[in-house]
Amino acid sequence: MKAILMSLLAVLFAAGPAGCVVREQRMPHSGVECVVPLGHVHDDQCGHYHFGGRWYYIQDHHHSPTCGHVFVEGSWTVGH
């Protein structure tokens, strides 16, 4: 029971103010996989980006010309 409660708290904490729900922690880059709520408007402060058909979130990340993400068709993705 304690493990379930701790897992639940970890998910709630990871969601933070961006409304992103964490799905897993294993990945080759710096964000955590998440589900972005319908209707969310991506901006330079949101910390979400799209990569390989999935959404990721980096807490306290601010998109900029040098961050490695590019804004394409209303959302951020990994630049090449």
Is it the case that residue 6 has pLDDT exceeding 60?
Answer: no
Q: List strands edge to edge, sheet with 32-35.
A: 21-24, 32-35, 54-57, 48-51, 75-78, 69-72
**pLDDT for res 79:** 80
Q: How high is the pLDDT of residue 76?
A: 92
Q: Is pLDDT larger for residue 79 or for residue 75?
A: 75
Instruction: Look at residue 68 in the predicted model and tell me its pLDDT.
Output: 87
* pTM exceeds 0.75 for this model: no
Tell me the pLDDT tens digit for each residue of 12-53.
344 444 445 444 443 445 789 999 999 999 999 999 999 889
In the chain, where are the structural domains located? 2-78
